[in-house]
Structure 1
Amino acid sequence: MPAQVKFEQVEELRERLSKTQAVFVAEYRGMTVAQITALRAQVRAAGGEMKVAKNTLMKIAMEQEGLTAFPDEMAYGPNVFALAYGDPVAVAKALRDFSREKTNKAFLLKGGALGHSILGVDQVSALADLPSKDVLIGQVVRTIAAPISGFLSVLNGPIRGLATCLNQIKEKKEQAA
């Protein structure tokens, strides 16, 4: 029979998972305390949280929360889980950038879970390459506004032409007078 502590840990993980947009898994074996602290700060700044938990307990919590659990080849060894509460792209970018630094070779990004999809390392990297949510919203707004501004230019064309024509007639009459 499992200890009560494990039930409490699973319940705590479920509460955290209920608020997440994505979960990323990485191995932290061989990292110093300073490196882990720096990583936690970067993930927190990106709108996420780092959580060290037993792989089995995280798998149980993910399944109970209705998420697709990490496969066994991804969830082995000492893992840290990055929970993205806001924009998953920002958290993925923070993790990828941290793993690319020369001094952080002990940090090994393994993959992630976005919705009901399991992401490999390449897919997490592709997710990190996406622009942020604010930039994407700006691009959509600009795309929607482009036809409207073009339409307004077309509507203003005849009025602008009439005003230009009247101004030229006025200038000719002033020169003749």
Structure 2
Amino acid sequence: MALSKAKKTEKIEQLTKELEGSTSAIVGTFAKLTVAQDFELRKTVRAAGGRYRVLKNKLAARASKGSQIEEALQGLKGVSSVAYTSGDPVALAKALATWVEENAQFTFKLGIVDGKVINVDEVKALATMPGKEEIFSKLLFLINAPAQRLATVVNATGRDLAVVINQAVEQNKFSGEQASA
């Protein structure tokens, strides 16, 4: 069904608002996707903090002008859809990659992360990277580890002294009797 010019303008404005805050996107294509599979895909993308839209290629190209994902949505061919987020791109890529393993009807075309276009292999590599939360926890562990070791060493002196004194008391070294020389 052909869209009227007013409807196209409305759709472009709506998509433009959604894409303005997006920092990363993954563009894909699908064939013979059932309604149930589409529902599950959308649910998976929402759970990862993203949004999912099936695109009209020319409308997407117009709507993305001025956004960080503009380059990815220019010159699309065939049936296209986009999953986009302003949050963690790794979480979105992981969610999509997991879903694609079970549903071969969806394939990746390309992606864009912080304004840089990435190919299909890089999208798959992005899905294997640790997420922001995991990287932050590892970084905090690495920052905390030297301080924790220092505290252990500082406390060891007092603990070792207490152990030596306790052993001396147990062996009656402090009984008050002095050995004659």
Task: Bin the TM-score by the shorter chain.
Answer: 0.7 to 0.9
Q: 2:38 aligns to what?
A: 36
Is 1:89–2:90 an aligned residue pair?
A: yes
Distance 1:14 1:174 in 2: 84
Alignment length, in residue pairs? 173
Amino acid at match of 1:126: A
Q: 1:134 aligns to what?
A: 133
Q: Do 2:50 and 2:86's aligned partners in 1 also have CA atoms closer than 8 Å?
A: yes
Distance 2:48 2:21 in 1: 15
Is 1:15–2:17 an aligned residue pair?
A: yes
1:24 Cα shift? 0.8
Amino acid at match of 1:92: A
1:70-99 deviation per Cα after TM superposition (whole angstroms, max 9, x unaligned): 2767x2111111012432212111211222
Is 1:24–2:23 an aligned residue pair?
A: no
Q: 1:62 aligns to what?
A: 64
- The more displaced of 54-63 and 123-132 is 54-63
Amino acid at match of 1:166: I
Amino acid at match of 1:109: F
Distance 1:146 1:77 in 2: 52
1:132 Cα shift? 2.4
Q: Do 2:93 and 2:126's aligned partners in 1 also have CA atoms closer than 8 Å?
A: yes
Q: Do 1:95 and 1:109's aligned partners in 2 also have CA atoms closer than 8 Å?
A: no
Can you give the 5+ residue segments of structure 2 that lack an aligned partner in the other structure?
Answer: 177-181
Can you give the 5+ residue segments of structure 1 that lack an aligned partner in the other structure?
Answer: none
- The more displaced of 45-54 and 141-150 is 45-54
> What pairs up with 1:43-122 in 2 under 5 angstroms?
43-70=45-72, 75-101=76-102, 104-122=103-121
Amino acid at match of 1:12: Q
Is 1:165–2:164 an aligned residue pair?
A: yes
Distance 1:54 1:100 in 2: 25
Looking at CA atoms only, which structure, 1 or 2, has the larger radius of gyration? 2
Q: TM-score, normalised by structure 1?
A: 0.86
More helix by share: 1
1:106-133 deviation per Cα after TM superposition (whole angstroms, max 9, x unaligned): 2111121111100111111111101222
Q: TM-score, normalised by structure 2?
A: 0.84
* 3-state DSSP of counterpart to 1:105: coil
* 3-state DSSP of counterpart to 1:112: strand
Distance 1:77 1:38 in 2: 22
1:7 Cα shift? 2.7
* 3-state DSSP of counterpart to 2:105: coil
- The more displaced of 15-24 and 39-48 is 15-24
Amino-acid identity (%):
34
Distance 1:72 1:50 in 2: 17
1:173 Cα shift? 2.0
